[in-house]
Structures are given as C-alpha cells and as structure tokens.
A and B are shown apart, each in its own frame.
Chain A
Amino acid sequence: MIRFDSVTKAYPGTTRPALNSVTLEILKGEFVFLVGASGSGKSSFLRLILREETPTKGEIHVLGQQLNTLANRKVPYFRRNLGVVFQDFRLLPNKTVFDNVAFTLQVIGKSRGFIQEAVPDALKMVGLAGKSSRYPHELSGGEQQRVAIARAVVNKPAILLADEPTGNLDPATSAGIMTLLERINLGGTTVLMATHDAGIVNQMQRRVIELVTGQIVRDERQGGYQTSAIPVQDFPVGSPL
C-alpha cells in the first residue's frame, strides 16, 4: 500500500537530511502512528506520501504508483485516492459544513446527484448530520475536525493521512476523534497518523513508527508512545518533548 525504499529527503541548503534512508512498508487496512519530536521528519514523511515533495534518493510506492516517476499532471488524480486531515482543520470559513464537504467533490467533477448522497452520508458518519448548514466558526474545535474528517473521507479514499489531528483538542474531544478514526480504519481505510499525544498512542496499542532526526529508530506492533523494550539512541526515556 505504502512502501519506502531507502528514502532520503534533503532540503536544499541544509546539511542534515529531513529523512535519512527510511525503509518501511505499510499494509492495507493498517492503523499506524508516526511519532517523534518536532523536526524528526514526520511532516516530510507525510508530504512525500502526498507527493508534495519528491525524494532526493530512494523510491516511494503508494497505491501501486511509483511516486518518483509520477508525472506532475497525474498528481491530482493520484491525490483523489488519499484523504488528509490537519491540526488546523483547514476549513473554508465562508462555506457551510455541507458546502465544505461538497467542495471536495465539486472540484474533482462529481455529479450533483452523487454529492447530494455522499455528503450527508459522510456527515452522518462523523456525527454531524444535524449541523450541515452551520458555518465553521459556529462549531467547536472537535466538531470542526469532524467536518475536516468528513471532507477527507467523503470520496472513500484508500489511505487517510492525519497530521496531528488532535493537536488542538482537549483529551475528551481527542478520544472522540480517535474513535472516529478507528471506525474509518475498520471500514478498510489505511490510517497513518502523526502525533505527539502519548496518551492516545498508549491507549490504542497499534503499530508505532518512531522517527528521530530523520531515521526510524523503532517500528513496533501494538506499541506505546515510548518503550523501554528497545533502547532508543539520542532520545532518553522521560526527556521533555
């Protein structure tokens, strides 16, 4: 589903690469946490999967596409198979909840009939069925993130990328969002979530990939946010994040 073959990403003008010879594979239907300090390469990892960046070295395969050689004009069509959720929601403030979700489908040319069916379904799934005519500023943070998730999954993507989706939310709301992501994962969607939230990672007990200065230092089935089972270099247990 997602495969990295000794991928290195160096940004121009920096000596240390953001990702250094990363090799891993994520299978269909997996729920994967991506953890690590700020600057450890989590965002670069997600951007590479989205093909917002191309790797400096190595090969990336996502959904059967070799991203290094994917033509620029084919990138939009590739991205239609991915859903993305951000920490800052990125909703359009001048559109209603319904229109925010529908916008995704409109711009990729779906028919009006399809939109009229798919959007209420997606909103119902995230538990916002009654709020489709509200504007984003009328919603709580948790509700806004649910709209963003509805927007990400309305097109039934095979992969959902979440970049610290609970970063701006309190623990109770975060738990609700995690339940939602889990439900989406149970529907067959591969979920890859970058996070700093130790509580969530420890509680979910899913696959955990830890990055330190651009290298994978841990890839654990059913892991916690930190573990003492495998020694971690340069990143002592209990150090402030």
Chain B
Amino acid sequence: MRFGLIMGEVASGLRRNVSMVVSVILVTFISLTFVGAAILLQMQITQMKGYWYDRAQVAVYLCTDLDDTGNCTQAEATQAQIDNIEQRLQSETLAPYIEKYEFESHEQAYENFQTQLGDSPMAGFVTPETLNESFRVNLIDPSDADILIESLSGEAGVEDVQDQRGYLDQIFAVLNAASYTAIGVAALMLVAAVLLIATTIRLSAFSRRRELGIMRLVGASNRFIQTPFILEGVFAAVIGSLFAGGAIVAIVQFFVRGYLAPTLGPNTTLVSLGDALVVVPILLVVGAALAAASAGVAIARYLKV
C-alpha cells in the first residue's frame, strides 16, 4: 500500500515537471561524463607509470675524450675507473637495490643510436667515440634512483647519472593537467547539477503544497513526505548517470580501443573496457548520492513542523 502510494507520487511528480527532469538528466549526464573521463585519465596515468617505470633505467654515463662536464676532463674513462664503478654496483651498499645492470660499450651505443635515429641528418656526424659508454642499471624499486645518483655522481670517470623516469614525468605532468582540467569542469557542472536538482524538487514540492500541507496536518511522518521527492531527484540523476556511464564505455570502446590503440601501435598501454566498466558504478553512486543529498536539503523546509 505505502510503497505503491509513494511510487505513484514519484510518477506524478516526474510527469508534472518533465522539462525540469530532462534538464536534470542532461546536466548530470554531462557532468558525470567529465568525472568519468577524469577517472579514466588517472587510470591511464597509473597504468603507464606501472608499465614504463619498470622499463626505465638509471644510466651511468662515462666520460669520453670530448666531455668536460661532470667529473670529466676531456679524457676517456680508464678501465680502472670502469672497474671501480662496476665494483661499486656490486658492493653491499648498492647491490640490494639493483635488479640487474649491463655495460654498454661505444659500439653498442652506436648501434642503438643508428637503429633509433639512423634516418636523421645528425647520424652522419656521430662516430662511436663520441657516444658515451654507460652502465644501464635496472632498479628493484625505480624510486630508489636517487641513491644511485648520489653515490655514483662523484666517482672519477663519470660524466652524469641520469634517471630516465625524468623524461616520463613530463608526459605524466601533461596527462595530469588534463585530468585536473576535467575534474575542474566536472566540479562546476556538478554544482550546476546539484542546484538544478534542488530547484526541480522545490518546484515539484510547490506544485504539491496543498497535499503537503494536508499530509503534515494529518500526521504523515517526515520520511513519508520526503521520500517521493528524494526518489524523484535520484531517479532523474540515475538516468543521467547511466547515460554518462554509456558515454564513458563508448569513448573507451570506439575512441581508445578503436582509434588510439591501432594508431599508437602495440607497444602502448591504454585503458581497457574493463576499466570503463569499473567507472560506471562509481558514476551511478556519485549521481544518486548527490541527487539524494540535494533533494533532501531542498525538501527540508517543507518538513518543518
């Protein structure tokens, strides 16, 4: 009896202001799409970090005849210096942090350079001697790079110790900025959505103020009075959230998987459809909770006894 009555109230309320309900649906749809996009971008960043940080190495560049930066004095690093560094890498202080390391000679460096940049006009000027010999160190935990940098930078024959994660951080900074922008837009849109829901519910309550007055007079409990209005707001917002969830899944399916993945090639890590499906319930909960809260606040003044 009561459930049916409440549902009847909700249905009549929704019918009575269709246009407001449609606008609530659209605003929640757009705002939650931005929220979802921001979440996906963060997921993308986390995935890329996981993927690339594992591959990022710390490179210990050794001096060549041409270098005078670092500890170099335009003299090639001697074999004794190279051995010394290798010993340091194997020592008790550093070994626990190191997963593996390998030595890259002039010739190997030249080969790598040719395969990577062989097409560029610069390639013609480069000879094996101008490229640094280096130790390529894979760390167990990539964030320990500073330990290596501190302990090896001062060694004789070392030009520079570089953490390759530094290059990646710039990419992540760009992606982070994009996701913060999305969050900012989403926050603004959510404020609009909350206010719109509150206005809609006020209108709905105003158009039913006679019923509300009689309900209060005859002793309907507050919960009974407010439930239809809150459900009304939640209903509209959940539909908007479902649209937003659909949009997020569609973006991942058709844009990321269908366009970005084939364009960027197989070596890229991109968010999957599974990630998008994780985002959908988050959007539903956020939409429903916001709607319930703002509708509850909006209806509160009609509940004063």
Contact = CB atoms under 8 A, between A and B. Distances in A.
B211 to A, nearest CB: 6
Interface stretch (A103-111, A121-129, A194-202, A211-219): A103-111
Contact of B224 (A80, A103, A109, A111): A109
A107 B220 CA distance: 5
Given A76-B221, A77-B221, A80-B218, A106 B213 contact: no
B287 to A, nearest CB: 29
Given A51-B305, A90-B214, A79 B5 contact: no
A90 B2 CA distance: 23
A112 interface: yes
Contacts of A111: 1
Contacts of A109: 1-2, 224
B219 A77 contact: yes
B122 interface: no
Contacts of A50: 217
B305 A72 contact: yes
Contacts of A72: 305
Contacts of A106: 1-2, 5
A79 B220 CA distance: 9
Nearest to A90: B214
Contact of A76 (B5, B210, B222): B222
Nearest to B8: A106
Interface in A186-210: none
Interface residues of B, number: 18
Contacts of B213: 90
Interface of B is mostly: helix
A66 to B, nearest CB: 16
B136 interface: no
Given A52-B305, A75-B305, A76-B305, A108 B220 contact: yes
B18 interface: no
A92 interface: yes
A78 B219 contact: yes
Contacts of A108: 218-221
Contacts of B218: 79-80, 104, 107-108, 151, 155
A165 B29 CA distance: 51
B208 to A, nearest CB: 10
B49 interface: no
A84 interface: yes
Say which size band chain A's interface belongs to: 20 to 34
A87 to B, nearest CB: 14
A114 B281 CA distance: 42
B214 A104 contact: yes
Give the interface centre of A84, A108, A111 by most chain B CB atoms within 10 Å.
A108
Contacts of B1: 106, 109-112
B216 interface: yes
B217 to A, nearest CB: 6
A65 B1 CA distance: 30
Contact of A90 (B210, B220, B222): B210
Contacts of B140: none
B215 interface: yes
A112 B221 CA distance: 18
Interface in A133-167: 151, 155
A82 B217 CA distance: 9
B119 to A, nearest CB: 78
A79 B219 contact: yes
Contacts of B215: 107
Contact of A92 (B214, B220, B224): B214
Interface string A96-119: 000000011011111110000000
A73 B222 contact: yes
List 3 A-B pairs, minimum CB-CB distance, nearest first: A79-B219, A80-B219, A107-B220
28 contacts: A51-B305, A52-B305, A73-B221, A73-B222, A76-B220, A76-B221, A76-B305, A77-B221, A79-B216, A79-B218, A79-B219, A80-B218, A80-B219, A92-B211, A92-B214, A103-B211, A103-B214, A104-B214, A104-B218, A107-B215, A107-B218, A107-B220, A107-B224, A108-B220, A109-B2, A109-B224, A112-B1, A151-B218
Given A76-B219, A151-B218, 20 more contacts: A52-B305, A75-B219, A75-B305, A76-B222, A76-B305, A77-B219, A77-B221, A78-B219, A79-B217, A80-B218, A93-B210, A103-B211, A103-B214, A104-B214, A106-B5, A107-B215, A107-B225, A108-B220, A109-B2, A112-B1
